[in-house]
Amino acid sequence: MSNPPKCLIIGANGFIGSHLVDELVEQNYMVRALDRYSRPPQFGSSGNVKVFKGDVFDDDVVSKALENIDYVFHAFSATTPFTSDSDPYSDIDRNILRNVQLLEKIVSAHVKKVVFISSGGVVYGHIAEERAAKETDAPNPVSPYGISKLATEYYLAYFNRKYGLNYIIYRLTNPYGPRQITHNNQGVIPLFINKIQSGEKIIIYGDGNSSRDYIYIRDAAQMITNTFSRETQYAVYNIGSGHQTTLNSIIATIEKITGHKAKLEYKEAPKTFLRKTMISTDRFHHEFMLKSETPLEEGLRLVCASLDMNY
């Protein structure tokens, strides 16, 4: 590219955001990486990346970050499924309200397209427990986190209708991989690995047979960065591996890789807990002919290696 497009990543130093930065650099995009940087940059160093330190809740910072930007990747959330369930008011204030304000600024900056990282599991709710949810299914979130994700999707459609804002939504399942932080019940895979390696007890909510669609983060990032700038048939796409894996199976595979036995304690699951989050990736695969390539055991070995596990 003679004049590479400029991308702003909101939440660039987070788990998903940092991998998006790396993949965009691989494709020769210019990247402005907005984050508070409470930890050192997790993405690779490159002349194509400008570290932009600031708070997404600071209007002046956001306005400066948006200057001359072609694409905005929204990979930031002020809450997690765990914290939003405990404090839905914060989720409304710090996610829904702020996202509407961000969209107003994005419109004013004349950005070409917004790429929003939504959630395939929490948006569909109970539908995904019964069958592989499709993009044509009516979403039915059961948690504040899912409600806020869906609300932002609806506001994107509203801003498109009112202002012509172009956007694409990726409903991502459960990504895992290097750089994932283990807090607030997020990132169960690195959490399990660390606890198994150290001999600490793992708390399992439910009987351990609940399942999720786990996708290796680099696969997900590549699927997004290879398709976001195209003229697409739809505005919403599910992204996942297409396979369900139980918590018990995850633990058994980690035990196999590390040679350590897990110490488990099972507790009653919260009422908003979903036993399955099945999604269909047919729409994405049929249009782009791309899919997740990393088998779960291989991905788990890569995570163990990134955590410097001795096994």
- With a cut of 70, say whether residue 36 has pLDDT above it: yes
Give domain status of residue 1, yes or no: no
Q: What is the pLDDT of residue 87?
A: 85
Q: What is the pLDDT of residue 281?
A: 97
Residue bearing the bigger pLDDT, 145 or 170: 170
74 lies in the same domain as 61: yes
132 lies in the same domain as 231: yes
**Overall average pLDDT of the 194-222 stretch:** 95
94 lies in the same domain as 21: yes
Q: What is the pLDDT of residue 206?
A: 93
Q: What is the pLDDT of residue 121?
A: 81
Give domain status of residue 138, yes or no: yes
152 lies in the same domain as 42: yes
Give domain status of residue 258, yes or no: yes
Asked which of 30-39, 104-113, 119-128, 216-225 is least confident by mean pLDDT, the reply is: 119-128
Number of structural domains (the chain) is 2
Q: What is the pLDDT of residue 186?
A: 65
**Overall average pLDDT of the 288-303 stretch:** 95
235 lies in the same domain as 143: yes
148 lies in the same domain as 193: no
- Domain carrying residue 33: 6-175+215-239
Residue 1 confidence class, pLDDT cut points 50, 70, 90: very low
Angle between helices 144-163 and 98-108 (to 10 degrees): 20
**The model's pTM:** 0.94
Residue 168: give its domain's CATH number: 3.40.50.720
Residue linked to tokens 């990346």: 49
Give domain status of residue 287, yes or no: no
- With a cut of 60, say whether residue 184 has pLDDT above it: no
256 lies in the same domain as 170: no
